[in-house]
Structure 1
Amino acid sequence: MHLGCHLSISKGYEEAGKQALSIGANTFQFFTRNPRGGKAKEINAEDVKKLKDIMVEHSFGPLLAHAPYTLNMASHKERIWEFAKMTLADDLKRLEEIPCDLYTFHPGNHLKKGVEYGINRITEGLNEILTGNESTTILLETMSGKGTEVGYTFEQIKEIIDKVKYSELMGVCLDTCHIYSAGYDIVNDLDDVLQKFDDIIGLDRLKAIHLNDSMKDFNSKKDRHEKIGKGTIGLEAINKIITHPQLKHLPFLLETPNDLEGYKEEIELLRNV
């Protein structure tokens, strides 16, 4: 099982790889740049090479790069939309130098313009950016449905993918907290939820899972992550997710409210389960 968590690359990619090993992880997620801003860390070729060596030696699974929270591709505001396009394009260019071929971003908020407007805005931006020559798979993250979020139903995700010219570059990162809050009952009907995903999007598009418990109730439309086994999803349901025949080959990335030691404990718990 490829299991990891969100780690900082502020001290370099090699250091992030070492941190992953120190907590029993064999993959990790990282922000491509400041999550609340736009600045990106300069890439050091030797640092990247050392991370590659760690990944090979310890049989790491796929790493996952995460776009900053400030990226809103669904916005009607030109300045925000242009920033989102510039950021995403720069991230994809930088990822060609890093041993990471998965990149996820929150589809965005339509800001009361309507879901269809948001979807069209997202796909227009992606179609301006993508050339078809990228080696990175761009993952749409499933959302909880709070506020004016886009991407909280499988149908919305599917519509975005279908409208992207180079749709072969598109995939999905499924967040367990988000889809449970959005109304997909992965606690009592996991097989049914996966069947719906397959029927609408296709399980071949699912490339990574954000593994989070939830502070909020089912179908709450709230996005509040909880530590594994401490929330409304619970350890039993999470165990079924990580051992499911259609999911167990995927990288699982923890985004629970934890420090490094907390992540280590959760990874040990999940491996023992």
Structure 2
Amino acid sequence: MKLGAHLSIAGGVDKAVDRAEELEINAFQIFAKNPRGWTGKELTTEVAELFKEKSKSIELASSVVHANYLSNLATPKDELYKKSKESLTEDIRRADCLGADYVVLHPGNHTGSGIEAGIKRVNQALQEIINEFNPEAKLLLENVAGAGTEVGFNFDDLLAMTEGIPLKRVGICLDTCHAFTAGYDLRSEAGFDGLLTEIDDTFGLENLPVIHVNDSKEEVGSNKDRHYHIGQGKIGSEGFARLVNHSQMKEKVLIIETPIDDNGDDELNLKTLRNLGK
């Protein structure tokens, strides 16, 4: 099992590897710069090399960079669109410097221009970034809960965002909490199998390398994004046991983004997933 958590880079990005070693995990996700700002501290060659050396020393299976939260590629506003493209490009550049495998991004909000316009905007941005920058890391569009004017809560829309882009360059990251509150009932075998079928029919399961494993504090179909501790939310332990033991999920990178209300919460959520996989 490739199991990990979203980790802090406080003290330097290489410190995330130290935290991964402490948690005894073989994968993790980080922000490569300030997630709520447009700029970040310079990533030096020395720090990037230290990150890679440490990652190799603990036999890390996979590392993931999550893009900036401020970016909104679906926006109709030209200035925000430009800043979002620049921010994502910088996240990708940093991911490549660190040797990360994937960059996960939220598509954004159309803010009134309509879903179709938002999708076209995201597609345009991705094509431009990939053509101009030619990243080594694979870009992964994350499904969203569908709150407000968010785009990308179903997989047909996510696929439309990749039109004209080879799927070897772009794929998806499944967030279980987002999927559940977008209407996919992961509590039942039929609901889980239906979700996998939809992903396979659009992107192909081979283009789903990363899963954000989060329980939900809100009900199915609520369109609310509130992550919760594994097995303690509305999805429940049975749903996650089905995920971690599914034959087609064995090689996926599973990343928890569960709340840290107290010290040790990451350890407890990781332990829960490990126990469900036995």
TM-score (norm 1): 0.94
| Structure 1 residue aligned with 2:254 | 252
1:180 is paired with a residue of what secondary structure? helix
Q: Is the 8 A contact 2:143 2:175 kept in 1?
A: yes
- 8 Å CA contact 2:13–2:32 kept in 1: the answer is no
Shift of 1:52: 2.3
Query: Cα deviation per residue 1:205-251 (whole Å; 9 max; x = unaligned)?
Result: 10100010000111111111111111000112112112211112111
Deviation, 1:101, is: 2.0
- One-letter identity of the residue aligned with 1:199: D
The residue type paired with residue 249 of structure 2 is L
Instruction: Give the C-alpha shift of residue 23 in structure 1.
Output: 1.6
SS in 1 for 2:219: coil
Paired residue for 2:67? 67
Q: Which runs of 5+ in 2 are unaligned?
A: none
Q: In the TM superposition, what is the alpha-carbon distance from 1:56 to its structure 2 partner?
A: 2.5
Q: Is the 8 Å Cα contact of residues 2 and 60 (structure 1) preserved in structure 2?
A: no
How do 1:150-229 residues align onto structure 2 when only pairs under 5 Å count? 150-161=151-162, 163-188=163-188, 189=190, 190-229=192-231
- Indicate the residue corresponding to 1:139 in structure 2: 140
Q: Which moved more, 1:259-268 or 1:229-238?
A: 259-268
SS where residue 168 of structure 1 aligns?
coil
- Counterpart of 1:102 in structure 2 is 102
Given the alignment of the two structures, is residue 17 of structure 1 paired with residue 17 of structure 2, yes or no? yes
Q: CA deviation at 1:165?
A: 3.6
Q: Contact 1:130 / 1:166 at 8 angstroms: preserved in 2? A: no
Q: Give the deviation of 1:178 after TM superposition.
A: 0.3
- Tell me whether 65-74 or 23-32 shows the greater mean CA deviation: 23-32
Alignment-derived partner of residue 242 in structure 2: 240
The 2-side partners of 1:200 and 1:166 are apart by 13
**1:51, distance to aligned residue in structure 2 (A):** 2.8
Alpha-carbon distance in structure 2 between the residues aligned to 1:68 and 1:137: 16
Q: How much has 1:166 moved relative to structure 2?
A: 4.6
The answer to whether the Cα contact below 8 Å between 1:24 and 1:268 also exists between their aligned partners in 2 is no
**In structure 2, what is the equivalent of residue 31 of structure 1?**
31
My pick for the range that moved more, 250-259 or 214-223, is: 250-259
Tell me the CA shift for residue 167 of structure 1.
4.4
Q: How many residues align?
A: 272
For 1:90 and 1:44, how far apart are their aligned partners in 2? 13
Letter in 2 for 1:145: G
Q: Using structure 2 for the length normalisation, give the TM-score.
A: 0.93
**2:68–2:91: 8 Å Cα contact kept in structure 1?**
no
- Sequence identity of aligned pairs in percent? 37
Segments of structure 1 that go 5 or more residues without pairing to the other structure are none
Displacement after TM superposition at 1:90 (Å): 1.8
CA contact (8 A) 1:126 1:164 kept: no
